[in-house]
Structure 1
Amino acid sequence: MCVALFLWQAHPLYPFFLLHNRDEYYSRPAQPVAWWDNGEILGGRDGLAGGTWLACSRDGRIAFVTNVREVAKGPPPKSRGDLPVRFLESKMNPTEFAEEILKEAHQYSGFNLILVDLSFKSMIYVTNRPKDGKALVSEVPPGIHMLSNASLDTPWPKAVLLRSNFKKYLEKYGAGELPAEELTDKLMTDTTKADKTMLPGIYSVEFEYSLSSIFVETNTEKGCYGTRSISAVSAKTNGEVTFYEKYLEEERWKEHTVSYMMEWMGTS
C-alpha cells in the first residue's frame, strides 16, 4: 500500500522530483536499488516476482507502479511489477506503451502506473481501475501530484497530508535545491493516522486505520507489514539523476545514493 508524491515540470531546477514509500510484507524478499544486469535499469527488484515498484534508465525514462486497494478475487495471471520494467526495456514512448498495455490490462489486478520520458517532457498515467468516468490513459499536467492506492490525485488523508507538508518545504527552499534526505526523513516517516471516518471502507476499519499513515508499520495474520523502503528520485535540468533510498534489511535501516547523467544529455 504505497504512497508517492511527485513534482512534474513545475520547478526551475527539477523537471521531476519524487518521494516514494513502498509498503510490503517484511517476509517478501527484495533487493535494494542497484543497476540491473545490463547496466541500463536502476531500481529495486522484487525477489519473488522479479519486477520492480520504481526504476529509471540511463536514457531519461522513469516508471513506478502502485496497486489499487480492492478485495482480491483470486491470483492475477501477471505481475504488476513487470510493467515498469517492460516500459524501460522498450523503445516506446509513454503514450505508445500505455496503449499497448491497455490491450492486456484486464490480466492484472488493479494498478496505477506512471510513465515518464524526460527527454520529451512526457508523463502518462495508466490505470485499469478508472473512477468517475475518467480515462484509462491520461497525460499528467505540470504540478504537484499524489498517488496512493486509488486513482491519481485521489484525496486520501495520507496523500493530502504529504502534499500539504511538501508544499511547506517548497516555500522554504523556493527555486533552490531540495534536500532529498531531509525530505524523506521529515515527510516520509510520518506515522500520523487518519480519522477513521475518512477511510475508504474497502477493508476492515482497523486494518485500514493501520495503513492510513504515510509510514506504515503493523502486524497482520500473515506477519509484519509496512514501509520497506523510502525513496527520493530527482532529475535536474542539467541531466543529473539522483536516486536516494533508505531501506529495511534484516531489521536494520540502511541507506545509499546512486547518481548518473542521462545519456540523452550527451554524457553516460
Structure 2
Amino acid sequence: MKANIAYQLSIRFCKIDMCIAVFAWQAHPLYPFLLLLNRDEYHHRPTKAVGWWEGGEILGGRDEVAGGTWLACTRGGRVSFLTNVLELHTLPEAKSRGDLPLRFLESNKSPEEFAKELVKEVHEYNGFNLITIDLSSNTMFYISNRPKGEPPTIQQVQPGIHVLSNAKLNSPWPKAQRLKFNFKKLLSTYNEDEDIPIKDMIDKLMRDTMKANKSQLPNICSVDWEHNLSSIFVDVGTPLGRYGTRSMIGVSIKDTEEASFHETYIERETWWEKTVNYYITPKN
C-alpha cells in the first residue's frame, strides 16, 4: 500500500511529459537534416495531429491545452523542437514551454539571436531543451535552462548525429545511447545517393520497448517510474490514465529542398498515419 502511494506521488510530482529525438545534422550528402522524434504524453490530452496551421506557414502538431507544439517547421526552412527535462519539482505557474518553438518560427531572428534573447527569461520556464534551426544559413542552436543553479546553455550544434532526451544534449542515458547507436547503424545501410524511407526508420527504431537496467537510471524520481520511462517507446498505465508514446514523427529535408513530415499518432486509442510533403521556399 505504501509503495503504491509513493509510486502515485512520484507520477504526480515528477514532470513526465517527455520526448526523445535523434537527428542527423549536415552529416549526410543527400539530407542536410533528418529527425526522428517520439512524443510521450497522456493519451487523453487533447492534441491535433500534424497539419498546416492558420496562415499556412507553420507545419506541426498542436497541444490543444496550452496551444503550443513540441515540433514544427516553416515553409521558409526553419525548424524547432523541444524536450522537457526530467525533474522532481516544477513550478506550477511557469510559462508553457510549448510556446518556445513557435516563438522562434514566427520570428525573423537567427537561431543565435533568438537564443541570446531567450536566455533573459529562461527562469520563467520549467526545465527544457530547445533546438532551433535555420536551413537557409545552415545554423542550429541548442538552448537549455537546466541544471538548476547553473547558467543557461547556449551552443551551436556541430554537424553530426545527435540525440536529445530529457537531460542535456547527447547525455548518455541508456535509451538515448541505444537510439543513437541504432540510428547510425540503420543509416549506414543506405547508399549515400539513395532516398531514405523515413517511415521505415520510424517503424524500425521508434517502436523499441526495451527498458534500461534499473542500476543505469538517473534516480531523479522513483526507480519504478523511471524504469517505465526508460524505453524509446513508452506505454504504461497510471492512476491518472494511460501514458506513453502517442506520436512518432520523422522529418526529412533533402538538399533539393524537398521536405517530408510523417507522423504516426494515436487518437481515440487507434493508430493513424499522415504524411505532408512540401518544398522549402526561403524568404528573401
Asked if the contact 1:130–1:136 (Cα under 8 Å) also holds between the matched residues in 2, the reply is no
How far apart are 1:72 and its partner, in Å?
2.3
For structure 2, the residue ranges without an aligned partner over 5 or more in a row are 1-17
What are the equivalent positions in structure 2 for 1:71-150 lying under 5 Å apart? 71-130=88-147, 136-150=153-167
Aligned-partner residue type, residue 235 of structure 1: I
Match of 2:273, SS? strand
After superposition, what is the alpha-carbon deviation per residue over 1:80-121, rounded to whole angstroms, capped at 9, x for unaligned?
000000100001110111111111100000000000000100
How far apart are 1:71 and its partner, in Å?
1.1
What are the equivalent positions in structure 2 for 1:171-250 lying under 5 Å apart? 171-175=188-192, 176-250=194-268
Alignment identity in percent? Answer: 56
Task: Name the CA distance, whole Å, in 1 between partners of 2:95 and 2:149.
Answer: 26
Asked if the contact 1:76–1:109 (Cα under 8 Å) also holds between the matched residues in 2, the reply is no
How has the CA–CA distance of structure 1 residues 225 and 13 changed in structure 2, closer, same or farther, with 3 Å as cutoff? same
Asked if the contact 1:239–1:265 (Cα under 8 Å) also holds between the matched residues in 2, the reply is no
How far apart are 1:178 and its partner, in Å?
1.6
Partner of 1:254: 272
Task: Name the CA distance, whole Å, in 2 between partners of 1:230 and 1:133.
Answer: 32
Asked if the contact 1:110–1:128 (Cα under 8 Å) also holds between the matched residues in 2, the reply is yes
How has the CA–CA distance of structure 1 residues 133 and 11 changed in structure 2, closer, same or farther, with 3 Å as cutoff? farther
After superposition, what is the alpha-carbon deviation per residue over 1:214-236, rounded to whole angstroms, capped at 9, x for unaligned?
00000112111000100000110
Partner of 2:32: 15
How far apart are 1:135 and its partner, in Å?
5.7
Asked if the contact 2:145–2:151 (Cα under 8 Å) also holds between the matched residues in 1, the reply is no
Aligned-partner residue type, residue 47 of structure 1: E
Match of 1:172, SS? coil
Task: Name the CA distance, whole Å, in 1 between partners of 2:147 and 2:137.
Answer: 26
Partner of 2:3: none
Q: Which of residues 45, 55, 71 is equivalent to 1:38?
A: 55
Aligned-partner residue type, residue 236 of structure 2: T
How has the CA–CA distance of structure 1 residues 109 and 134 changed in structure 2, closer, same or farther, with 3 Å as cutoff? closer
Aligned-partner residue type, residue 107 of structure 2: S
How far apart are 1:196 and its partner, in Å?
0.5
How far apart are 1:132 and its partner, in Å?
11
Asked if the contact 2:211–2:231 (Cα under 8 Å) also holds between the matched residues in 1, the reply is yes
Quick check: 102-111 or 134-143, which moved more? 134-143
Q: Confirm or deny that 1:60 pairs with 2:91.
A: no
RMSD (Å) for aligned C-alpha atoms: 1.6
Task: Name the CA distance, whole Å, in 2 between partners of 1:101 and 1:241.
Answer: 28
How far apart are 1:73 and its partner, in Å?
3.4
Aligned-partner residue type, residue 46 of structure 2: P
How has the CA–CA distance of structure 1 residues 75 and 265 changed in structure 2, closer, same or farther, with 3 Å as cutoff? closer
Match of 1:264, SS? coil
How far apart are 1:174 and its partner, in Å?
3.2
Structure 2 length-normalised TM: 0.91
Q: Confirm or deny that 1:153 pairs with 2:170.
A: yes
- Matched residue count: 266
Asked if the contact 1:131–1:151 (Cα under 8 Å) also holds between the matched residues in 2, the reply is no
Asked if the contact 1:157–1:194 (Cα under 8 Å) also holds between the matched residues in 2, the reply is yes
| Runs of 4+ residues over 4 Å off in structure 1 | 130-135
